[in-house]
Structure 1
């Protein structure tokens, strides 16, 4: 058995899976925003909505990551 690998709980595993899913969705939104921006007449309203959703995803990712690795005040 390898003692270097810490045991993670089911809750932590679920949080890691959620972060992975959110990161993929964030990347998909980035690609969509880039594609829409390159259109001849970009839909600025749609781009703004996607950017807000992307920012909300980033905030959720940070929140979950803080639950996984909380700050330790030394």
Structure 2
């Protein structure tokens, strides 16, 4: 899958990813508060959250104009 090139499309995708990241944060907090929670599931959620953070950072850097140009 090719990343979006259009700044408006990048901004839309960023919004979606930030919402998913926030939702994962809330889910992780809920699971962590439950003493009987599945640790493997929590680790998977945390890994997905980190992956989202990386993608968000890459997309945000694409929205910043190249200063060397």
The runs of 5 or more residues in structure 2 that have no matched partner are none
Q: Does 1:64 align with 2:39?
A: no
Q: TM-score, normalised by structure 1?
A: 0.79
Backbone CA RMSD of aligned residues: 1.6
- Between the two proteins, the alignment pairs up a number of residues equal to 64
2: CA distance, partners of 1:25 / 1:52: 13
| Unpaired segments ≥5 residues, structure 1 | 1-9
Shift of 1:70: 4.3
Runs of 4+ in 1 over 4 A off after TM superposition: none
Q: Which has the larger radius of gyration?
A: 1
Aligned to 1:41: 36
Tell me the alpha carbon deviations over residues 24-60 of structure 1, each in whole angstroms, 9 at most, x when there is no partner. 0000000000000011212110000000000000000
- Taking the TM superposition and a 5 Å limit, the aligned residue runs for 1:1-74 are 11-70=6-65, 72=67
TM-score by length of 2: 0.85
